[in-house]
Chains A and B, each alone.
Chain A
Amino acid sequence: SFTGLANQTFCTVLLYKNSPSLKTRESEDIQQQIIRETFHLVSKRDENVCNFLEGGLLIGGSDNKLIYRHYATLYFVFCVDSSESELGILDLIQVFVETLDKCFENVCELDLIFHVDKVHNILAEMVMGGMVLETNMNEIVTQIDAQNKLEKSETFIFQSPRQDR
């Protein structure tokens, strides 16, 4: 499965390949094709239709579904196979967004665009190997904070006060 974020003018903010069971992989072209196709499918959707889409041709065949949610200008898309509960994934997306909100303090699109690596880290605390790892928001935020502190304590290049890359 993979997770993608895209905004309305189709700029991919994040793409996290999560599971080794994706049949088409690696070549950047194919990856981009998948993204484009996903975006096409998702952006065509109306507001009041259901949040599930059968995947396009490139996404691993008929077993995989796209589950997405639309928040302000961003689409959060999860591609899952049939072993996941569809409604559960919707809730997972919600928890993910709330976690992002906690970590970034009133998260907005720009936050996500400029701190891609941090978003990756947060996602890595929630989903691992294509499976849900942790869903407790506070727990996740605690872990992320601790790891960030660890990072901060290591770096002492003084280009600027803030240690971002």
Chain B
Amino acid sequence: MDPLCFAFRLGVHLHQGFTFLHGSHLYIPPARYLRMPAPIRLRELIRTIRTARTQAEEREMIQKECAAIRSSFREEDNTYRCRNVAKLLYMHMLGYPAHFGQLECLKLIASQKFTDKRIGYLGAMLLLDERQDVHLLMTNCIKNDLNHSTQYVQGLALCTLGCMGSSEMCRDLAGEVEKLLKTSNSYLRKKAALCAVHVIRKVPELMEMFLPATKNLLNEKNHGVLHTSVVLLTEMCERSPDMLAHFRKNEKLVPQLVRILKNLIMSGYSPEHDVSGISDPFLQVRILRLLRILGRNDDDSSEAMNDILAQVATNTETSKNVGNAILYETVLTIMDIKSESGLRVLAINILGRFLLNNDKNIRYVALTSLLKTVQTDHNAVQRHRSTIVDCLKDLDVSIKRRAMELSFALVNGNNIRGMMKELLYFLDSCEPEFKADCASGIFLAAEKYAPSKRWHIDTIMRVLTTAGSYVRDDAVPNLIQLITNSMEMHAYTVQRLYKAIFGDYSQQSLVQVASWCIGEYGDLLVSGQCEEEEPIQVTEDEVLDILESILISNMSVSVTRGYALTAIMKLSTRFTCTVNRIKKVVSIYGSSIDVELQQRAVEYNALFKKYDHMRPALLERMPVMEKVTTNGPTEVVQTNGETEPAVLETKPPPGLQPTSQANDLLDLLGGNDTTPVIPTAPMSKPASAGGELLDLLGDLNLTGSPASAPTPAPQISQPPFLLDGLSSQPLFNDVAAGIPSITAYSKNGLKIDFTFERSNTNPSVTVITIQASNSTELDMTDFVFQAAVPKTFQLQLLSPSSSVIPAFNSGTITQVIKVLNPQKQQLRMRIKLTYNHKGSAMQDLAEVNNFPPQSWQ
């Protein structure tokens, strides 16, 4: 029993408050302290706080205690300082400010007592970091403590330095750390090793300094030291390829590690390091990891470790998590080094076994590593496809996500039908956070491997009906393009779409596609011809009923209404008996509140009234689109072949949509892997596939639809788009003498206008000045504008005037863009906007296509 306790009991009986312990001090507090009660103990504080029933009560208690602590600090009370700081740390953990304790921590560190130092260093680790200037004051203390006679004090110092040392501190103290790395005291050596790792991370130049000390590290018997040494070596190898080469050749590190690993496996039961029957698994895992780094891309090293890896892989017991952890690490190592094929197959089979394991963690881990290897060892992973697909039905969200990603990676031409069935089923039943990704994945897979057009259309329709609200914006135009391309399916498609939206207008994407198709192929619909399935009998009025209900429905967004109105208009040339009804509908919307609808309606009205002779030509059937634009519905409507009835344009209204523009779009959108050539394009366009565009534009993946579509007439003049008229210029505008400016983007209250200037000296340069304005009631901050152009252009963005767009259109951000267009191609641009608005981060991508011809010709 502790002699102090014993003596105290004795003392209490003998005399109140004094103890007769020989060799100890008698502590009589000075008079002034007797007035102030001693600060309460940490346990008392914790107990008190736990009794608080509300947040406010707790705050009150904390504040009271903080005040007491503060006055105690002011009194420079050495005795109770560590008690107070301990309480402060507790309060800090609960979330209350504790910065006034920082200096006190330093005082504690400087004290001679171990107790003080312990709390002081803990406080330093929790409260201080390199952002506070105060921390540098610690450097000297740490230096002294690193040379202290008591190893625990040295340990504390190493610990603190290793956790939060700044680069200045590390530079100053690296020498001391290195000295301790060579000591024979294993307690200190292991701490020094990790501290060295931290130093290297902070100040990479000092790495060489630790090199000599590492020579003998692996000869240690103590596992703690071995473990941290391996960590240190790993860090050095990862950071510097020179080090890596050095260790491989000169130090013969690989054989050393192999030897240690062998000992671990072969040695019998060792109670010290045993975890569930396996000897020091942590060390084994670390060694395996280091072997991985050493063996990567190096034949000799890989060969030296082949045997031991095979041994570990076959001999490790897999009944507990421990064994699996080691196996997992082994598998990762095998996959990463240049192992022989037998070993690789062994590894993948282990992963396959993991997938069947009952333990969820193992399954998760297996799926993660299969995802990494599916690129390189595709066939081997294919063998486990059915297991992976089963994981889609797992209840665990993390596992489902991994399984979904892996499934998409495994889809190929042979298994597309089966896989798609499973994936569609998954789409039906999965959580909303997956639906968007799953839908996009399905689209991509379908585009790449669709066995037939009908299957493709069916699949997309299925996705739209089940997850229509989650699909990305580019799904709609993609589908439309797909439909136009499959001419024989038009009747079937429009019929199915009609049935799908009958009575239910909630799925916006579906409704948009359906409206477009009905507008385009309405004549096929009412004529009742369909080869693929039973034709339905529909009258023109019924069709118009549907379209009108879409227009009226509360569920339709403005874009959908636009589609519907245009569809109605197109039907005026396809339907025979209901033209008057169409005229009536169109004229009603001429006074719609929605500006977009209003403008369209007015223009269509004009078509009826003044330009009726042009109407059939304008509203003709769409030709096949080679490539599709992926910017959303507005884009699609633009390429509709409908033109603004701008009479003042002297160009003849082109009935056909020149699809040579599609080639530009191809470049713009990139990621394509088929050749799109349109032989009629007279300009020497680089008909390249997959122009790698700036990463700015993301990874939009276009299909190369089989170039079986007939190429259109070689029309390359750009028709004025319908939306040009809608968005930028007044309807019947005189073409201005200067270059007209355009509104490039207008959404959510943010509007961006482009004004143009051509350089007099260099005719290929166009200078665009953008003005961003904000019509909402809150400012938009951190506004960043980025732009990308097709490959043949060059872009230079100058700095913006500011990054805040004030609300209520009270100010704008201006930025200048210079575009170099040596080949005088049609200007197209994709822009990315990021800003903060109403407390949330917003981001948007948009394409700008309505550049006036004078800006680039």
Residues of A whose CB lies within 8 Å of any CB of B are: 12, 14-20, 25-26, 28-29, 31-32, 35, 46, 48-54, 85-88, 90-92, 94-95, 113-114, 116-117, 120-121, 124, 128-136, 138-139, 143, 146-147, 150-152, 154-159, 161, 164-165
A122–B365 CA distance with the chains assembled, in angstroms = 29
Contact of B159 among A53, A124, A161 (CB under 8 A): A124
**B86-A28 in contact (CB<8A):** no
Q: Are A87 and B194 in contact (CB under 8 A)?
A: no
The answer to whether the Cβ of B413 comes within 8 Å of any Cβ in the partner chain is no
Q: Would A164 and B285 count as touching, CB distance under 8 A?
A: no
Instruction: Please pick, from B9, B122, B191, B398, the residue contacting A120 in the complex, using a CB distance under 8 A.
Output: B122
Contact of B126 among A17, A35, A157, A164 (CB under 8 A): A17
The reply to whether A117 and B86 form a contact with Cβ atoms under 8 Å apart is yes
- Chain A residues closer than 8 Å to B73, beta-carbon distance: none
- Whether A155 touches B321, Cβ cut-off 8 Å, given contacts A128-B163, A147-B152, is no
Cross-interface CB contact of A114 among B19, B46, B322, cutoff 8 Å: B46
Q: Bits for B1-28, please: 1 = Cβ < 8 Å to A, else 0.
A: 0101100110000000101000011010
B389 near A: Cβ within 8 Å? no
Known contacts A15-B93, A28-B92, A49-B397: A87-B275 contact under CB 8 Å: no
Is chain B's binding surface mostly helix, strand, loop or mixed? helix
B540 within 8 A of A: no
Interface contact A161-B129, CB-CB below 8 Å? no
B residues in contact with A95, CB < 8 Å: 275
Q: With the chains together, A29 CA to B398 CA distance in Å?
A: 29
Rounded to whole angstroms, the CA-CA distance of A120 and B163 in the bound complex is 13
The reply to whether B118 and A147 contact each other, CB–CB distance below 8 Å, is: yes
Residues of chain B in range 85-115 having any CB-CB distance to chain A below 8 Å: 86, 89-90, 92-98, 113-115
The reply to whether B275 and A91 form a contact with Cβ atoms under 8 Å apart is yes
Q: Known: A136-B272, A143-B187, A147-B118. Contact between A87 and B398, CB under 8 A?
A: no
When the two chains form their complex, are residues A132 and B361 in contact, meaning their CB atoms are under 8 A apart? no
**Nearest Cβ distance between residue A39 and chain B, in whole angstroms?**
13
Contacts of A164 in B (CB 8 A): 41-43
Q: Does B60 contact A (CB under 8 A)?
A: no
B95 x A32 contact (CB < 8 A): yes
Complex Cα–Cα for A85 and B47 (A)? 38
Q: Which A-chain residue is minimally distant from B121 (CB atoms)?
A: A124
Task: Judge whether B42 and A86 touch: CB under 8 Å.
Answer: no
A-B contact pairs, 23 of them (CB 8 A): A12-B93, A19-B163, A28-B95, A49-B398, A50-B361, A50-B399, A86-B361, A88-B285, A91-B321, A117-B119, A120-B122, A121-B118, A129-B194, A133-B190, A134-B190, A135-B227, A135-B282, A150-B152, A154-B113, A158-B17, A159-B38, A161-B9, A165-B83
- Identify which of A19, A46, A132, A139 contacts B282 (C-beta below 8 A): A132
Q: How far is the CB of A142 from chain B (nearest CB, A)?
A: 10
Is B396 a contact of A49 with CB atoms below 8 Å?
yes
Alpha-carbon distance between A103 and B273 when the two chains are bound, in angstroms: 18
Q: Which residues of A are found within 8 Å of B19, using beta-carbon distances? A: 158
Asked whether B82 lies within 8 Å of A165 as measured between CB atoms, the reply is: yes
**Contact call B227/A134, Cβ cutoff below 8 A:** yes
Q: What's the Cα separation between A84 and B42 when bound, in Å?
A: 35
The answer to whether A128 and B92 touch (CB under 8 A), given A87-B324, A134-B190, A156-B24, is no
Give the chain A neighbours of B46 by CB distance below 8 A.
113-114, 116
Contact B227 A132 (CB under 8 A): yes
**A138: contacting residue among B272, B275, B365, B399, CB under 8 A:** B272
B321 touches A158 (CB 8 A): no
Q: If the complex has contacts A133-B224, A164-B43, are A12 and B122 also in contact, measured as CB distance less than 8 A?
A: no
Q: Does B363 touch A at the CB level, under 8 Å?
A: yes
B360 sits at the interface (CB 8 A)? yes
**Chain B interface (Cβ < 8 Å from any Cβ of A):** 2, 4-5, 8-9, 17, 19, 24-25, 27, 38, 41-43, 46-47, 50, 79, 82-83, 86, 89-90, 92-98, 113-115, 118-119, 122, 125-126, 129-131, 150, 152, 158-159, 162-164, 187, 190-191, 194-195, 197-198, 223-224, 227-228, 231, 272-273, 275, 280-283, 285, 289, 321-322, 324-325, 328-329, 360-365, 395-399
Determine which residue in A87, A90, A152 has the highest number of CB atoms from chain B within 10 A of its CB, and name it.
Answer: A87
Contact B38 A50 (CB under 8 A): no
The answer for the CA separation of A106 and B531 in the assembled complex, in Å, is: 78
Minimum CB distance partner of B25 in chain A? A156
Taking A85-B329, A154-B113, A156-B4 as contacts, is the C-beta distance between A52 and B398 under 8 angstroms? Answer: yes
**In the complex, A139→B395 CA distance in Å?**
41
Q: For the complex, give the distance between the alpha carbons of A46 and B360 in Å.
A: 12
Q: Would you give the shortest CB distance from B295 to chain A, in whole angstroms? A: 17
- State which of B164, B224, B361 has its C-beta within 8 Å of the C-beta of A52: B361
Residues of A contacting B9 in the complex (Cβ-Cβ under 8 angstroms): 161
Residue of A nearest to B91 (CB): A28
CB distance from A67 to the nearest CB of B (A): 9
The residue on B at minimum CB distance from A19 is B163
> Please, which residues of chain A bring their CB within 8 A of the CB of B27?
156-158
Q: How far is the CB of B46 from chain A (nearest CB, A)?
A: 5
* B325 with A88: CB separation less than 8 A: yes
| B279 CB → nearest A CB, Å | 11
**Shortest beta-carbon distance from B840 to chain A in Å:** 12
Contact among B4, B8, B43, B398 with A50 in the assembled complex (CB-CB below 8 Å):
B398
Query: B325 contacts A87, CB within 8 Å?
Result: yes
Is B94's CB under 8 angstroms from A131's CB?
no
Roughly how many angstroms separate A159 CA and B5 CA in the complex, as a whole number? Answer: 11
Nearest CB to that of A116 among chain B residues? B90
Q: Distance in Å from the Cβ of A102 to the closest Cβ of chain B?
A: 14
Whether the pair A131, B89 counts as a contact (CB closer than 8 A) is no
**Are B163 and A129 neighbours in the complex by a CB distance under 8 Å?**
yes
Q: Which residue of B lies closest to A115 (CB)?
A: B43
A50/B324 in contact, CB under 8 A: no
Q: What residues of A have a CB within 8 angstroms of the CB of B363 in the complex?
A: 50
Are B38 and A129 in touch, CB under 8 angstroms? no
Assess the A91–B24 pair: CB atoms within 8 A: no
Beyond A85-B329, A90-B325, A116-B90, 5 additional pairs, beta carbon < 8 A: A113-B46, A121-B118, A121-B122, A133-B191, A154-B113
Beta-carbon contact of A51 and B361 below 8 Å? yes
Q: Which residues of A are found within 8 Å of B281, using beta-carbon distances? A: 88, 91
CB pair A165–B86 under 8 Å, yes or no, is yes
Distance between Cα atoms of A92 and B275 in the complex (Å)? 10
The answer to whether B122 and A131 touch across the interface, beta carbons within 8 angstroms, is no
Q: Are A87 and B90 in contact (CB under 8 A)?
A: no
Instruction: Tell me the complex Cα distance, A12–B50, Å.
Output: 12
Other-chain contact of B395, A18, A25, A49 (Cβ < 8 Å) = A49
- Bound-state CA distance A28–B46 (Å) is 19
Residue in B95, B119, B126, B190 with the greatest tally of chain A CB atoms within 10 Å = B95
Contacts of B114 in A (CB 8 A): 147, 150-151, 154
- Closest chain B residue to A98, Cβ basis: B275
CB distance from A155 to the nearest CB of B (A): 6
Would you call B194 and A133 a contact (CB within 8 A)?
yes
CA distance A147 to B159 in the complex (A): 14
A-B pairs, 9 with minimum CB distance: A87-B325, A50-B360, A129-B162, A49-B396, A32-B95, A50-B364, A50-B361, A135-B282, A129-B198
| Minimal beta-carbon separation of B599 from chain A (angstroms) | 41
Contact between chains at A116 and B282 (CB < 8 Å): no
- Chain A residues within an 8 Å CB radius of B197: 129, 131
CA distance A147 to B114 in the complex (A): 9
Determine if A85 and B395 form an interchain contact, defined as CB atoms under 8 angstroms apart. no
Query: Complex formed: what's the CA distance from A26 to B365 in Å?
Result: 32
Max chain B C-beta neighbours (<10 A), residue from A25, A51, A124: A124
Q: Among the interface residues B163, B324, B363, which one has the most CB atoms of the partner chain A within 10 A? A: B163
State A154–B27 Cα separation when bound (angstroms): 13
**Chain A residues with CB below 8 A from B224, complex form:** 133-136, 139
List chain A residues, Cβ under 8 A from B280.
135-136
Given the complex, which residues of A lie within 8 Å of B42, measured CB to CB? 116-117, 164-165
Q: What is the minimal beta-carbon distance from B7 to any residue of chain A, in angstroms?
A: 10
Q: In this complex, which of B2, B93, B96, B224 has the most chain A Cβ atoms within 10 angstroms of its Cβ?
A: B93
Contact A155 B115 (CB under 8 A): yes
The CA-CA distance from A135 to B290 in the complex, in Å, is 18
Residue contact A46 to B395, C-beta cutoff 8 Å: yes
